[in-house]
Amino acid sequence: MEKKAFWEVPWYTKLKYIAEIIAIVGGLYLIYLNVGQLRLNEKQLKLSEDQLKLNIDQLKILSDSLNLEISKGKAHLEVWQRNAFFLGSPDDRAIIYLIFRNLSHRPTAIIDIYVRKKGIIIEGRGYKGRIKLPIKIEPWGIEEVNFRIEKREEMNMTDILIRDIEDNEIVVIRKPGQTWTKTK
């Protein structure tokens, strides 16, 4: 078959060649656009991964924050109690020692200490002013408080109610003749 110049071939063949050239150029252009779109998709995927990492970090911070909020609702104090009896002392009083240990990473304070008999308050806040309130306790700190209690009230007492600044309550149950006793 003899090769003819483009201008010598019939018009329908010219049209066919032009259509093929347009199809090839169009296909190449579409490939070029798809490659550009793939590059954009790749960049968006990287941005999405970065955003996902930020979201994970934010969730960890939120989780820590929620754990802190949850821990605020729990008692952070550990209380130890000991009674010292001075039988035959002239003022007929016993001494009650209370040790408070803050188990939290933030400070707290004891704002109320009530001596009770079967849930009824015998003597109010700070037991007749003998306990200076509030008792501030540093993070992981320990504070000791002692006070003298009237012998008849000591015998009637069933427990001591302690309330911290966050309204958490700790009840120290009286056990006559006890040594140091941990209370929750």
> What pTM, to 2 d.p., does this model score?
0.53
> Taking 90 as the threshold, does the pLDDT of residue 87 lie above it?
no
Domain boundaries, the chain: 6-71, 77-183
Domain range 77-183, CATH architecture: Sandwich (2.60)
Distance CA 5, CA 178 (A): 118
CA 133 to chain centre: 28
Per-residue pLDDT reduced to its tens digit, 119-142 = 788 777 787 888 888 899 988 888
pLDDT value of residue 84:
64
Which CA distances in Å does 154 have to 55, 127, 136, 144, 173? 58, 12, 26, 19, 12
Distance CA 172, CA 25 (A): 89
Distance CA 84, CA 144 (A): 14
Distance CA 61, CA 68 (A): 10
